[in-house]
Structure 1
Amino acid sequence: MTKHRPDYRFTRPGALIAALPAVLGFVPEKSLVLVSLERGELGAVMRVDLSLALAGEVGHLVEVAGASGADAVVAVIVDAQGAPCPMCNDDYRDLCDALTTALAEHHMGLYAAHVVDRIEAGGSWHCVDGCGESGTVEDPTASPLAAAAVLDGRRLYGTRDDLKAVVAVADPGHADSLVALIGEAASAREMDWREDPDGCGRRDVEAAIAAAARVCEGADLGDAEVAALACALGDVAVRDTLYALAVGSGAGQAETLWALLARTLPDPWRAEALALLAFSAYARGDGPLAGVSLDAALRSHPDHRMAGMLDTALQSGMRPEQIRELAGTGYRLAKRLGVRLPPRRAFGRRAV
Structure 2
Amino acid sequence: MASTDRPRLAVRSPADLIAAVPFLLGFHPADSVVVVAMRGRRITFAARADLPDLADRCDLAGHLAGVVARQHAETATVLGYGPATLVTPAVDAVRAELTAAGLSVLDALRVTEGRYWSYVCTEPECCPPDGTPYDVGASEVSVAAVFAGQVALPDRAALVAQVAPVTGPARSAVRAATARAERRLAELRGQAPAADPRGERSVRSAGATAVRTAFRRHRREQPLTDDEVAWLSVLLTDEPVRDHAWARTDGRDADIALWTDVLRRAEPELTAAPAALLAFAAWRAGQGALAAVALERALAEHPGHSLALLLDDLLRRGVPPSDLDGWPAVGTPDVLRRRRRRRER
- Normalised to the residue count of structure 2, the TM-score between the two structures is 0.77
Work out whether residues 243 and 327 of structure 1, in 8 Å CA contact, stay in contact via their aligned partners in 2.
no
Structure 2: which amino acid aligns with 1:188? E
What is the CA distance between 1:263 and its match in structure 2? 0.8
Alignment of 1:60-75 (within 5 A): 60-75=63-78
SS of alignment partner, residue 37 of structure 1:
strand
Aligned equivalent of 1:95: 90
Aligned equivalent of 2:62: 59
SS of alignment partner, residue 72 of structure 2:
coil
Work out whether residues 3 and 45 of structure 2, in 8 Å CA contact, stay in contact via their aligned partners in 1.
yes
Distance 1:189 1:199, change over 3 A: closer
Query: What do residues 212-267 of structure 1 show as CA deviations (whole Å, max 9, x unaligned)?
Result: 54466555523x4433212211122221111233249xx54443232122112233
Work out whether residues 73 and 103 of structure 2, in 8 Å CA contact, stay in contact via their aligned partners in 1.
yes
The one of 103, 106, 115 aligned to 1:111:
106
Work out whether residues 282 and 320 of structure 1, in 8 Å CA contact, stay in contact via their aligned partners in 2.
yes
Distance 1:301 1:189, change over 3 A: farther
Q: Name stretches of at least 5 consecutive residues in structure 2 with no aligned partner.
A: 335-345
What is the CA distance between 1:178 and its match in structure 2? 6.7
CA distance in 2, matches of 1:145, 1:77: 20
Work out whether residues 259 and 274 of structure 2, in 8 Å CA contact, stay in contact via their aligned partners in 1.
yes
What is the CA distance between 1:325 and its match in structure 2? 4.7
Query: What do residues 121-170 of structure 1 show as CA deviations (whole Å, max 9, x unaligned)?
Result: xx21112367241433353685558746864x654322111111111112
CA distance in 2, matches of 1:150, 1:304: 39
What is the CA distance between 1:185 and its match in structure 2? 4.1
Aligned equivalent of 2:317: 316
Aligned equivalent of 1:135: 132
Matched residue count? 317
CA distance in 2, matches of 1:110, 1:18: 19
Query: What do residues 45-71 of structure 1 show as CA deviations (whole Å, max 9, x unaligned)?
Result: 111122222213423212212222234
Work out whether residues 19 and 143 of structure 1, in 8 Å CA contact, stay in contact via their aligned partners in 2.
no
Distance 1:255 1:11, change over 3 A: closer
Aligned equivalent of 2:183: 184
Structure 1: which amino acid aligns with 2:225? L
Structure 2: which amino acid aligns with 1:241? H
CA distance in 2, matches of 1:332, 1:303: 18
Aligned equivalent of 2:261: 260
Alignment of 1:275-286 (within 5 A): 275-286=276-287
What is the CA distance between 1:187 and its match in structure 2? 2.2
CA distance in 2, matches of 1:263, 1:208: 17
The one of 165, 189, 201 aligned to 2:204:
201
Work out whether residues 16 and 139 of structure 2, in 8 Å CA contact, stay in contact via their aligned partners in 1.
no
Structure 1: which amino acid aligns with 2:103? M
- Normalised to the residue count of structure 1, the TM-score between the two structures is 0.76
Alignment of 1:76-95 (within 5 A): 76-79=79-82, 82=83, 89=84, 91-95=86-90
CA distance in 2, matches of 1:96, 1:158: 23
Distance 1:112 1:164, change over 3 A: same
Aligned equivalent of 1:162: 158
SS of alignment partner, residue 168 of structure 1:
coil
